């Protein structure tokens, strides 16, 4: 423990590239969390079911699953910098495609734009995470990644703020009567068409601005000198790397744990609006609870990074997962504001999960296996694409036994946290 305290998390030689690459974590955090509330927005303005609206998450996180392996193979052949630049280019393209999507007023066009946007995010995450791990001593790699990932929720908070203050609050489709009921479905087709055009433009604008911000970042990174990855002597084929990874139980279980974590995170943050809406709270006001949840998430990530100096990261992962199981149990069983508060509190225990699972799963891999190993963990983000649709279907049922559909749907995040707790236990008791 005393030796670990003496090792710098980030040494001076890597400080500038660490800062620049860490800024990208905020950039994709913004995209993640400006998009989550769009499920509720599209549901109303396009007059579709919750399950169909959740296709936003399928498109968004499906892009990760599609492009993670190609991104890893690209980085393996070229360089971290090349992977980042290509990722930024696709990110910008997807964001700018929101302009024609709003012009055509097609939900499927928005889905395609998000899909392309996340091609870029897949490249960025597949590249940036192992890049950060490589910037210093291996003993502090997980701690270093937790520090870099702590800036992801800063971007997420900004994305939530923009969604709350510039999108959701400006949507005419969410105007409610005195009873708190949305009146959009009761309007004439002409009134609906006018509101739909207005609201889709409101949704479009932040993404188009984001596209130009990403282009600026592309220019900055293209001009900066980045540390090169250390060459590997006599590298083996990608097929050999896949075979070694497939035989590594700690890594394979880590991919599953990451899949369940991302699914739980997206469900807890996406459907907080539906949970609050079931209590008669408007979308814009409900998004404020999401902002509070993300603020708690951010603060907890810095706290958990500090705690790793004194508590084994694997054990801390298990403890946090058990606490998340407890809070989500309250979300399911308690109706009313208390359940909403517990849902918000769950973010405190999700804070360390992604980077810690990531670091544990890649720990001990050879340098030539790390890129493909990272790709598998980024592909696991597909959990955020699949399970929200299932949860949306449960919410559409309105009543499941003695529970409301919204409350009972959080049984899915509970199951996810059970597996993460199990993985945390196995990593410090079995996978030594």
- Identify the pLDDT of residue 105: 94
Q: How far is it, in rounded angstroms, from Cα 342 to Cα 276?
A: 12
Query: Has residue 333 got a pLDDT over 90?
Result: yes
63-96 pLDDT, tens digit each: 888 898 898 888 888 888 899 999 999 999 999 9
Question: Is the pTM value of this prediction over 0.85?
Answer: no
Q: How far is it, in rounded angstroms, from Cα 327 to Cα 283?
A: 23
* Proportion of the chain above pLDDT 90, given as a percent: 39
Q: How far is it, in rounded angstroms, from Cα 354 to Cα 378?
A: 10
Q: How far is it, in rounded angstroms, from Cα 408 to Cα 220?
A: 47
Q: How far is it, in rounded angstroms, from Cα 177 to Cα 183?
A: 7
Measured CA distances, 280 to 169, 176, 217, 276 (Å): 16, 10, 41, 7
Tell me the pLDDT band of 230, cut-offs 50, 70 and 90: low
Token pair of 396 as six digits: 């559409």
196-208 pLDDT, tens digit each: 999 999 999 999 9
Tell me the pLDDT band of 2, cut-offs 50, 70 and 90: very low
Nearest 10 degrees: Cα torsion 107, 113, 116, 117: -120
Q: How far is it, in rounded angstroms, from Cα 369 to Cα 290?
A: 37
DSSP codes of every residue in 355-416: HHHHHHHHTT--HHHHHHHHHHHHHGGGHHHHHHHHHHHHHHT-EETTEEHHHHTTHHHHHH
- Identify the pLDDT of residue 431: 66
Token pair of 397 as six digits: 């049922």
Q: How far is it, in rounded angstroms, from Cα 366 to Cα 39?
A: 40
Terminal C-alpha separation, the chain:
17
Higher pLDDT, 422 or 226: 422
Q: How far is it, in rounded angstroms, from Cα 428 to Cα 129?
A: 23
Residues in the chain, overall count: 432
Higher pLDDT, 272 or 17: 272
Mean per-residue pLDDT of the chain: 87
* Proportion of the chain above pLDDT 70, given as a percent: 94
Tell me the pLDDT band of 1, cut-offs 50, 70 and 90: very low
CA-atom Rg of the chain in angstroms:
21
Question: Among residues 176, 164, 210, 180, which one has the least CA distance to residue 37?
Answer: 164
155-179 pLDDT, tens digit each: 888 998 898 889 988 999 988 887 7
Burial class (CB in 10 A: 0-12, 13-18, 19+), 298: buried
Measured CA distances, 324 to 315, 329, 416, 417 (Å): 14, 8, 10, 7
Three-state secondary structure string covering 166-201:
HHHHHCHHHCECCCCCECHHHCCHHHHHHHHHHHHH
DSSP codes of every residue in 57-125: HHHHHHHHHHHHHHHHHHHHHS-HHHHHHHHHHHHHHHHHTHHHHHHHT-HHHHHHHHHHHHHHHHHHH
């Amino acid at each position: 423990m005393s030796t670990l305290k003496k090792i710098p998390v980030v040494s001076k030689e890597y400080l500038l590239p660490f800062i620049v690459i860490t800024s990208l974590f905020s950039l994709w955090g913004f995209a993640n969390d400006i998009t989550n509330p769009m499920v509720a927005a599209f549901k109303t303005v396009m007059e579709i079911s919750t399950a169909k609206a959740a296709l936003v998450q399928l498109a968004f996180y499906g892009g990760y699953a599609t492009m993670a392996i190609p991104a890893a193979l690209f980085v393996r052949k070229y360089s971290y910098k090349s992977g980042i630049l290509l990722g930024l280019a696709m990110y910008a393209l997807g964001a700018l495609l929101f302009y024609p999507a709003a012009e055509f007023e097609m939900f499927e066009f928005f889905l395609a734009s998000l899909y392309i946007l996340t091609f870029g995010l897949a490249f960025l995450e597949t590249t940036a995470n192992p890049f950060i791990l490589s910037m210093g001593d291996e003993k502090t790699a997980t701690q270093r990644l937790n520090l870099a990932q702590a800036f992801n929720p800063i971007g997420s908070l900004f994305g939530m703020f923009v969604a709350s203050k510039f999108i959701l609050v400006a949507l005419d489709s969410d105007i409610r009567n005195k009873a708190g009921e949305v009146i959009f479905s009761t309007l004439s087709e002409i009134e609906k068409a006018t509101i739909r055009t207005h609201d889709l433009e409101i949704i479009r604008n932040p993404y188009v601005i984001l596209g130009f911000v990403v282009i600026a970042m592309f220019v900055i990174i293209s001009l900066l000198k980045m540390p090169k990855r250390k060459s590997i002597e006599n590298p083996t084929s990608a097929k050999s790397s896949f075979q070694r990874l497939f035989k590594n139980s700690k890594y394979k279980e880590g991919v599953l744990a990451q899949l369940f974590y991302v699914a739980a995170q997206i469900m807890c943050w996406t459907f907080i609006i539906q949970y609050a809406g079931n209590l008669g709270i408007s979308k814009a006001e409900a998004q404020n609870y999401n902002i509070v949840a993300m603020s708690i998430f951010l603060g907890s990530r810095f706290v958990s990074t500090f705690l790793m100096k004194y508590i084994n990261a694997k054990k801390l992962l298990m403890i946090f997962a058990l606490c998340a199981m407890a809070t989500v149990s309250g979300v399911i069983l308690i109706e009313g504001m208390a359940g909403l508060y517990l849902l918000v509190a769950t973010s405190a225990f999700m804070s360390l999960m992604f980077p810690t699972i990531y670091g544990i799963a890649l720990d001990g891999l050879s340098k030539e296996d790390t890129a493909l190993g990272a790709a598998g963990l980024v592909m696991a983000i597909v959990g955020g694409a699949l399970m929200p649709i299932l949860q949306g279907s449960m919410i559409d049922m309105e009543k499941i036994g003695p529970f409301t559909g919204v409350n009972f749907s959080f049984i899915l995040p509970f199951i996810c946290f059970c597996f993460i707790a199990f993985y945390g236990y196995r990593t410090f008791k079995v996978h030594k």
